[in-house]
Structure 1
Protein backbone atom coordinates (compact mmCIF):
# COMPACT_ATOMS: atom_id res chain seq x y z
CA UNK A 1 0.00 0.00 0.00
CA UNK A 2 1.02 3.55 -0.63
CA UNK A 3 1.25 6.17 2.13
CA UNK A 4 1.10 9.75 0.86
CA UNK A 5 2.10 12.48 3.30
CA UNK A 6 3.35 16.03 2.66
CA UNK A 7 4.08 15.31 -1.00
CA UNK A 8 6.10 12.20 -0.21
CA UNK A 9 5.13 8.61 -0.95
CA UNK A 10 6.14 5.59 1.10
CA UNK A 11 5.44 1.94 0.28
CA UNK A 12 4.31 -0.56 2.91
CA UNK A 13 3.31 -4.18 2.55
CA UNK A 14 -0.35 -4.99 3.19
CA UNK A 15 0.59 -6.76 6.39
CA UNK A 16 -0.30 -6.07 10.02
CA UNK A 17 3.38 -6.18 10.94
CA UNK A 18 3.86 -2.98 8.92
CA UNK A 19 1.21 -0.93 10.72
CA UNK A 20 3.21 0.18 13.75
CA UNK A 21 6.06 1.49 11.58
CA UNK A 22 3.61 3.21 9.23
CA UNK A 23 1.75 5.01 12.03
CA UNK A 24 5.05 5.98 13.68
CA UNK A 25 6.10 7.51 10.35
CA UNK A 26 2.82 9.43 10.09
CA UNK A 27 2.98 10.85 13.61
CA UNK A 28 6.69 11.68 13.53
CA UNK A 29 6.34 13.56 10.22
CA UNK A 30 3.30 15.45 11.53
CA UNK A 31 5.19 16.39 14.71
CA UNK A 32 8.21 17.57 12.71
CA UNK A 33 6.13 20.19 10.92
CA UNK A 34 4.02 21.11 13.98
CA UNK A 35 0.73 19.95 12.49
CA UNK A 36 -2.29 18.07 13.80
CA UNK A 37 -3.68 14.94 12.16
CA UNK A 38 -7.11 15.81 10.78
CA UNK A 39 -8.00 12.54 9.07
CA UNK A 40 -6.87 9.86 6.66
CA UNK A 41 -8.27 9.26 3.20
CA UNK A 42 -8.09 5.52 2.71
CA UNK A 43 -8.88 4.43 -0.83
CA UNK A 44 -11.06 7.53 -1.18
CA UNK A 45 -12.87 7.13 2.17
CA UNK A 46 -12.36 9.84 4.80
CA UNK A 47 -11.62 8.30 8.21
CA UNK A 48 -11.64 10.66 11.20
CA UNK A 49 -11.09 8.33 14.14
CA UNK A 50 -9.94 4.88 15.14
CA UNK A 51 -7.56 4.83 12.18
CA UNK A 52 -5.63 1.79 13.32
CA UNK A 53 -8.74 -0.39 13.57
CA UNK A 54 -10.05 0.81 10.21
CA UNK A 55 -6.74 0.02 8.50
CA UNK A 56 -6.29 -3.28 10.33
CA UNK A 57 -9.76 -4.51 9.32
CA UNK A 58 -9.05 -3.74 5.65
CA UNK A 59 -5.32 -4.44 5.55
CA UNK A 60 -5.53 -6.92 2.71
CA UNK A 61 -7.24 -4.58 0.25
CA UNK A 62 -5.93 -1.04 0.99
CA UNK A 63 -4.16 0.58 -1.93
CA UNK A 64 -3.59 4.19 -0.79
CA UNK A 65 -3.60 6.16 2.44
CA UNK A 66 -3.47 9.92 2.14
CA UNK A 67 -2.68 11.82 5.35
CA UNK A 68 -4.51 15.11 5.90
CA UNK A 69 -2.75 17.24 8.50
CA UNK A 70 -3.64 20.82 9.34
CA UNK A 71 -2.24 23.68 11.39
CA UNK A 72 -3.31 23.92 15.00
CA UNK A 73 -5.47 26.95 14.14
CA UNK A 74 -7.22 25.04 11.35
CA UNK A 75 -7.75 22.06 13.64
CA UNK A 76 -9.26 24.23 16.38
CA UNK A 77 -11.57 25.89 13.85
CA UNK A 78 -12.62 22.45 12.56
CA UNK A 79 -13.31 21.23 16.12
CA UNK A 80 -15.49 24.27 16.83
CA UNK A 81 -17.31 23.95 13.50
CA UNK A 82 -17.99 20.25 14.13
CA UNK A 83 -19.18 21.01 17.66
CA UNK A 84 -21.43 23.80 16.36
CA UNK A 85 -22.93 21.54 13.70
CA UNK A 86 -23.47 18.74 16.23
CA UNK A 87 -25.14 21.02 18.80
CA UNK A 88 -27.34 22.62 16.14
CA UNK A 89 -28.67 19.19 15.18
CA UNK A 90 -28.71 17.78 18.72
CA UNK A 91 -30.68 20.51 20.52
CA UNK A 92 -34.00 19.78 18.75
CA UNK A 93 -33.44 16.07 19.34
CA UNK A 94 -32.94 16.74 23.05
CA UNK A 95 -36.42 18.28 23.16
CA UNK A 96 -37.92 15.04 21.83
CA UNK A 97 -35.88 12.95 24.28
CA UNK A 98 -37.07 15.11 27.19
CA UNK A 99 -40.72 14.77 26.13
CA UNK A 100 -40.42 11.02 25.76
CA UNK A 101 -38.71 10.56 29.14
CA UNK A 102 -41.51 12.54 30.81
CA UNK A 103 -43.91 10.03 29.22
CA UNK A 104 -42.81 6.44 28.84
CA UNK A 105 -39.47 6.12 27.02
CA UNK A 106 -39.44 3.59 24.20
CA UNK A 107 -36.50 1.48 23.13
CA UNK A 108 -35.84 4.09 20.42
CA UNK A 109 -35.78 6.81 23.11
CA UNK A 110 -33.10 4.89 25.01
CA UNK A 111 -31.06 4.52 21.79
CA UNK A 112 -31.25 8.28 21.15
CA UNK A 113 -30.40 8.93 24.82
CA UNK A 114 -27.32 6.71 24.42
CA UNK A 115 -26.36 8.68 21.31
CA UNK A 116 -26.74 11.88 23.34
CA UNK A 117 -24.36 10.46 25.97
CA UNK A 118 -21.87 9.63 23.21
CA UNK A 119 -22.19 13.25 22.04
CA UNK A 120 -21.45 14.45 25.57
CA UNK A 121 -18.35 12.25 25.63
CA UNK A 122 -17.20 13.60 22.26
CA UNK A 123 -17.70 17.20 23.44
CA UNK A 124 -15.76 16.36 26.61
CA UNK A 125 -12.88 14.90 24.58
CA UNK A 126 -12.82 17.94 22.29
CA UNK A 127 -12.85 20.33 25.25
CA UNK A 128 -10.10 18.29 26.94
CA UNK A 129 -7.91 18.60 23.84
CA UNK A 130 -8.61 22.34 23.66
CA UNK A 131 -7.84 22.93 27.36
CA UNK A 132 -4.65 20.87 27.29
CA UNK A 133 -3.19 22.11 24.02
CA UNK A 134 -0.72 24.90 24.72
CA UNK A 135 -0.55 26.35 21.20
CA UNK A 136 -3.68 28.48 21.13
CA UNK A 137 -5.07 31.54 22.85
CA UNK A 138 -8.45 30.16 23.95
CA UNK A 139 -9.76 30.75 27.46
CA UNK A 140 -8.61 27.49 29.03
CA UNK A 141 -10.29 28.26 32.36
CA UNK A 142 -13.70 28.74 30.75
CA UNK A 143 -13.28 25.51 28.77
CA UNK A 144 -12.18 23.66 31.92
CA UNK A 145 -15.27 24.93 33.81
CA UNK A 146 -17.54 23.72 31.01
CA UNK A 147 -15.82 20.31 31.13
CA UNK A 148 -16.29 20.08 34.89
CA UNK A 149 -19.97 20.93 34.58
CA UNK A 150 -20.40 18.45 31.75
CA UNK A 151 -18.70 15.71 33.80
CA UNK A 152 -20.97 16.40 36.78
CA UNK A 153 -24.07 16.27 34.56
CA UNK A 154 -22.93 13.00 33.05
CA UNK A 155 -22.39 11.56 36.54
CA UNK A 156 -25.89 12.65 37.61
CA UNK A 157 -27.45 11.24 34.44
CA UNK A 158 -25.77 7.89 34.97
CA UNK A 159 -26.99 7.79 38.58
CA UNK A 160 -30.54 8.51 37.38
CA UNK A 161 -30.24 5.71 34.80
CA UNK A 162 -29.00 3.29 37.47
CA UNK A 163 -31.95 4.28 39.66
CA UNK A 164 -34.34 3.83 36.72
CA UNK A 165 -35.78 7.31 37.35
CA UNK A 166 -36.95 8.50 33.92
CA UNK A 167 -38.49 11.71 35.33
CA UNK A 168 -35.14 12.64 36.90
CA UNK A 169 -33.41 11.85 33.59
CA UNK A 170 -35.84 14.20 31.80
CA UNK A 171 -35.37 16.89 34.48
CA UNK A 172 -31.59 16.68 34.27
CA UNK A 173 -31.64 16.95 30.49
CA UNK A 174 -34.20 19.78 30.60
CA UNK A 175 -32.67 21.89 33.37
CA UNK A 176 -28.97 20.98 33.30
CA UNK A 177 -27.83 19.52 29.98
CA UNK A 178 -29.89 21.65 27.60
CA UNK A 179 -28.90 25.01 29.16
CA UNK A 180 -25.24 23.98 29.24
CA UNK A 181 -25.38 22.90 25.60
CA UNK A 182 -26.88 26.29 24.74
CA UNK A 183 -24.02 27.97 26.63
CA UNK A 184 -21.49 25.82 24.80
CA UNK A 185 -23.22 26.75 21.53
CA UNK A 186 -22.79 30.47 22.33
CA UNK A 187 -19.14 29.93 23.26
CA UNK A 188 -18.54 27.94 20.07
CA UNK A 189 -20.26 30.52 17.83
CA UNK A 190 -17.56 33.02 18.74
CA UNK A 191 -14.93 30.72 17.24
CA UNK A 192 -16.82 29.43 14.20
CA UNK A 193 -15.98 31.03 10.90
CA UNK A 194 -19.10 30.73 8.73
Structure 2
Protein backbone atom coordinates (compact mmCIF):
# COMPACT_ATOMS: atom_id res chain seq x y z
CA UNK A 1 0.00 0.00 0.00
CA UNK A 2 1.20 3.48 -0.86
CA UNK A 3 0.63 6.12 1.78
CA UNK A 4 0.54 9.61 0.23
CA UNK A 5 0.71 12.95 2.02
CA UNK A 6 1.45 16.11 0.02
CA UNK A 7 4.76 15.37 -1.78
CA UNK A 8 5.66 12.38 0.38
CA UNK A 9 5.04 8.73 -0.39
CA UNK A 10 5.62 5.82 1.95
CA UNK A 11 5.45 2.25 0.71
CA UNK A 12 3.89 0.01 3.35
CA UNK A 13 3.89 -3.74 3.45
CA UNK A 14 0.56 -5.22 2.30
CA UNK A 15 0.46 -7.08 5.65
CA UNK A 16 0.66 -3.82 7.66
CA UNK A 17 -1.77 -3.71 10.57
CA UNK A 18 -4.25 -0.89 11.12
CA UNK A 19 -2.11 0.29 14.07
CA UNK A 20 1.00 0.49 11.84
CA UNK A 21 -0.91 2.44 9.17
CA UNK A 22 -2.24 4.92 11.77
CA UNK A 23 1.21 5.27 13.32
CA UNK A 24 2.67 6.10 9.89
CA UNK A 25 -0.10 8.66 9.28
CA UNK A 26 0.62 10.31 12.65
CA UNK A 27 4.35 10.42 11.86
CA UNK A 28 3.64 12.17 8.56
CA UNK A 29 1.45 14.85 10.13
CA UNK A 30 3.50 17.55 11.74
CA UNK A 31 2.16 19.84 14.44
CA UNK A 32 1.06 22.28 11.72
CA UNK A 33 -1.62 19.91 10.41
CA UNK A 34 -4.81 18.26 11.59
CA UNK A 35 -6.03 15.05 10.01
CA UNK A 36 -9.25 15.59 8.04
CA UNK A 37 -9.93 12.33 6.17
CA UNK A 38 -8.33 9.95 3.74
CA UNK A 39 -8.99 8.75 0.22
CA UNK A 40 -8.63 4.99 -0.19
CA UNK A 41 -8.27 4.03 -3.86
CA UNK A 42 -10.40 7.01 -4.88
CA UNK A 43 -13.05 6.62 -2.13
CA UNK A 44 -13.26 9.45 0.42
CA UNK A 45 -13.60 8.20 4.00
CA UNK A 46 -14.63 10.88 6.52
CA UNK A 47 -15.41 8.75 9.57
CA UNK A 48 -14.86 5.28 10.99
CA UNK A 49 -11.26 5.36 9.73
CA UNK A 50 -10.03 2.59 11.99
CA UNK A 51 -12.95 0.27 11.15
CA UNK A 52 -12.45 0.94 7.44
CA UNK A 53 -8.75 0.07 7.67
CA UNK A 54 -9.52 -3.04 9.71
CA UNK A 55 -11.98 -4.38 7.14
CA UNK A 56 -9.85 -3.47 4.09
CA UNK A 57 -6.37 -4.46 5.29
CA UNK A 58 -4.29 -5.82 2.44
CA UNK A 59 -6.75 -4.58 -0.22
CA UNK A 60 -5.92 -0.86 -0.34
CA UNK A 61 -3.36 0.13 -2.95
CA UNK A 62 -3.26 3.87 -2.43
CA UNK A 63 -4.18 5.77 0.74
CA UNK A 64 -4.08 9.55 0.38
CA UNK A 65 -4.05 11.59 3.60
CA UNK A 66 -6.06 14.83 3.54
CA UNK A 67 -5.27 17.40 6.20
CA UNK A 68 -6.15 20.90 7.26
CA UNK A 69 -3.81 23.56 8.53
CA UNK A 70 -4.30 24.76 12.10
CA UNK A 71 -5.96 27.89 10.71
CA UNK A 72 -8.39 25.94 8.47
CA UNK A 73 -9.19 23.50 11.27
CA UNK A 74 -9.82 26.33 13.76
CA UNK A 75 -12.03 28.12 11.22
CA UNK A 76 -14.13 24.97 10.62
CA UNK A 77 -14.58 24.38 14.34
CA UNK A 78 -15.59 27.99 14.97
CA UNK A 79 -18.13 27.79 12.11
CA UNK A 80 -19.63 24.79 13.96
CA UNK A 81 -19.61 26.70 17.26
CA UNK A 82 -21.26 29.73 15.67
CA UNK A 83 -23.99 27.61 14.07
CA UNK A 84 -24.57 25.47 17.16
CA UNK A 85 -24.80 28.36 19.64
CA UNK A 86 -27.26 30.20 17.38
CA UNK A 87 -29.61 27.19 17.29
CA UNK A 88 -29.11 26.28 20.95
CA UNK A 89 -30.05 29.72 22.32
CA UNK A 90 -33.72 29.19 21.37
CA UNK A 91 -33.74 25.66 22.81
CA UNK A 92 -32.27 26.85 26.12
CA UNK A 93 -35.23 29.13 26.78
CA UNK A 94 -37.65 26.22 26.32
CA UNK A 95 -35.47 23.95 28.46
CA UNK A 96 -35.27 26.41 31.36
CA UNK A 97 -39.07 26.89 31.26
CA UNK A 98 -39.58 23.13 31.50
CA UNK A 99 -37.47 23.04 34.67
CA UNK A 100 -39.57 25.84 36.18
CA UNK A 101 -42.69 23.76 35.61
CA UNK A 102 -41.99 20.07 35.97
CA UNK A 103 -39.16 18.35 34.10
CA UNK A 104 -40.23 15.29 32.09
CA UNK A 105 -38.07 12.41 30.87
CA UNK A 106 -37.64 14.28 27.61
CA UNK A 107 -36.48 17.38 29.53
CA UNK A 108 -33.78 15.31 31.22
CA UNK A 109 -32.73 13.94 27.84
CA UNK A 110 -32.30 17.49 26.51
CA UNK A 111 -30.47 18.44 29.71
CA UNK A 112 -28.02 15.54 29.14
CA UNK A 113 -27.43 16.86 25.60
CA UNK A 114 -26.78 20.32 27.03
CA UNK A 115 -24.18 18.87 29.41
CA UNK A 116 -22.50 17.09 26.49
CA UNK A 117 -22.45 20.27 24.44
CA UNK A 118 -20.88 22.18 27.35
CA UNK A 119 -18.13 19.54 27.47
CA UNK A 120 -17.70 19.86 23.70
CA UNK A 121 -17.39 23.66 24.05
CA UNK A 122 -14.79 23.17 26.79
CA UNK A 123 -12.89 20.89 24.39
CA UNK A 124 -13.01 23.51 21.62
CA UNK A 125 -11.73 26.22 23.97
CA UNK A 126 -8.99 23.88 25.21
CA UNK A 127 -7.96 23.33 21.59
CA UNK A 128 -7.77 27.11 21.04
CA UNK A 129 -5.82 27.47 24.29
CA UNK A 130 -3.18 24.96 23.15
CA UNK A 131 -2.48 26.68 19.85
CA UNK A 132 0.80 28.54 19.63
CA UNK A 133 -0.76 31.41 17.72
CA UNK A 134 -3.91 32.47 19.57
CA UNK A 135 -6.91 33.99 17.84
CA UNK A 136 -6.97 37.78 18.32
CA UNK A 137 -10.06 37.80 20.56
CA UNK A 138 -8.77 34.91 22.71
CA UNK A 139 -9.55 36.74 25.97
CA UNK A 140 -13.28 36.51 25.14
CA UNK A 141 -13.04 32.71 24.92
CA UNK A 142 -10.98 32.53 28.11
CA UNK A 143 -13.65 34.47 30.01
CA UNK A 144 -16.49 32.32 28.62
CA UNK A 145 -14.58 29.13 29.51
CA UNK A 146 -14.15 30.26 33.12
CA UNK A 147 -17.87 30.98 33.47
CA UNK A 148 -18.92 27.70 31.85
CA UNK A 149 -16.63 25.73 34.19
CA UNK A 150 -18.23 27.39 37.18
CA UNK A 151 -21.76 26.88 35.89
CA UNK A 152 -21.10 23.19 35.23
CA UNK A 153 -20.26 22.81 38.93
CA UNK A 154 -23.36 24.80 39.93
CA UNK A 155 -25.54 22.66 37.67
CA UNK A 156 -24.16 19.44 39.15
CA UNK A 157 -24.91 20.71 42.64
CA UNK A 158 -28.45 21.82 41.66
CA UNK A 159 -29.11 18.37 40.12
CA UNK A 160 -27.86 16.61 43.27
CA UNK A 161 -30.18 18.78 45.39
CA UNK A 162 -33.04 18.29 42.91
CA UNK A 163 -33.43 22.08 42.82
CA UNK A 164 -35.28 22.40 39.51
CA UNK A 165 -35.86 26.14 39.82
CA UNK A 166 -32.13 26.70 40.26
CA UNK A 167 -31.39 24.51 37.22
CA UNK A 168 -33.85 26.65 35.21
CA UNK A 169 -32.20 29.85 36.52
CA UNK A 170 -28.68 28.69 35.66
CA UNK A 171 -29.74 27.70 32.13
CA UNK A 172 -31.63 30.96 31.54
CA UNK A 173 -29.37 33.51 33.26
CA UNK A 174 -25.91 31.96 32.99
CA UNK A 175 -25.66 29.37 30.21
CA UNK A 176 -27.85 31.15 27.60
CA UNK A 177 -25.97 34.50 27.85
CA UNK A 178 -22.67 32.60 27.61
CA UNK A 179 -23.86 30.83 24.47
CA UNK A 180 -24.72 34.25 23.04
CA UNK A 181 -21.25 35.55 23.98
CA UNK A 182 -19.64 32.48 22.42
CA UNK A 183 -21.71 32.99 19.28
CA UNK A 184 -20.48 36.59 19.04
CA UNK A 185 -16.86 35.63 19.79
CA UNK A 186 -16.80 32.93 17.10
CA UNK A 187 -18.52 35.27 14.63
CA UNK A 188 -15.88 37.94 15.32
CA UNK A 189 -12.99 35.49 14.86
CA UNK A 190 -14.38 34.10 11.60
CA UNK A 191 -15.13 37.57 10.19
CA UNK A 192 -11.75 39.08 11.13
CA UNK A 193 -9.36 36.13 10.75
CA UNK A 194 -11.21 33.31 9.04
CA UNK A 195 -13.36 32.61 6.02
CA UNK A 196 -16.95 31.65 5.39
CA UNK A 197 -18.00 29.06 2.83
CA UNK A 198 -18.84 30.67 -0.49
CA UNK A 199 -22.63 30.64 -0.63
CA UNK A 200 -22.86 31.46 -4.34
The alignment's C-alpha RMSD in Å is 2.7
- Rounded to whole Å, the distance in 2 between the matches of 1:185 and 1:14 is 48
- Between 1:101-110 and 1:2-11, the stretch displaced more is 2-11
Q: CA deviation at 1:3?
A: 5.2
Secondary structure of the residue aligned to 1:138 is: coil
Cα-to-partner distance string for 1:28-58 (whole Å, 9 max, x where unaligned)? 21117x21223456764422xxx6xx62587
Flag structure 2 segments of 5+ consecutive residues without an equivalent: none
Match of 1:122 in 2: 120
Residues 1:142 and 1:106: Cα distance change in structure 2 (over 3 Å): same
Match of 1:35 in 2: 33
Secondary structure of the residue aligned to 1:36 is: strand
- Is the 2:37–2:46 contact (alpha carbons within 8 Å) kept by the matching residues of 1? yes
Greater RCO (CA < 8 Å, at least 6 residues apart): 2
- Rounded to whole Å, the distance in 2 between the matches of 1:167 and 1:108 is 17
Residues 1:26 and 1:58: Cα distance change in structure 2 (over 3 Å): closer
Aligned residues: 186
Q: CA deviation at 1:156?
A: 0.6
Larger radius of gyration: 2
Match of 2:46 in 1: 46
- Rounded to whole Å, the distance in 1 between the matches of 2:137 and 2:123 is 16
Q: CA deviation at 1:97?
A: 0.8
Q: CA deviation at 1:134?
A: 0.5
- Is the 1:14–1:59 contact (alpha carbons within 8 Å) kept by the matching residues of 2? no
Match of 1:189 in 2: 187
Match of 2:173 in 1: 175
- 2:55 is equivalent to residue 60 of structure 1: yes
Flag structure 1 segments of 5+ consecutive residues without an equivalent: none
- Is the 2:92–2:171 contact (alpha carbons within 8 Å) kept by the matching residues of 1? yes
- Rounded to whole Å, the distance in 1 between the matches of 2:148 and 2:177 is 11
- Rounded to whole Å, the distance in 2 between the matches of 1:172 and 1:136 is 30
Secondary structure of the residue aligned to 2:55 is: coil
Q: How does 1:69-88 map to 2 (within 5 A)?
A: 69-88=67-86
Match of 1:151 in 2: 149
- Rounded to whole Å, the distance in 2 between the matches of 1:91 and 1:78 is 20
- Between 1:35-44 and 1:122-131, the stretch displaced more is 35-44
Normalised by the length of structure 1, the TM-score is 0.81
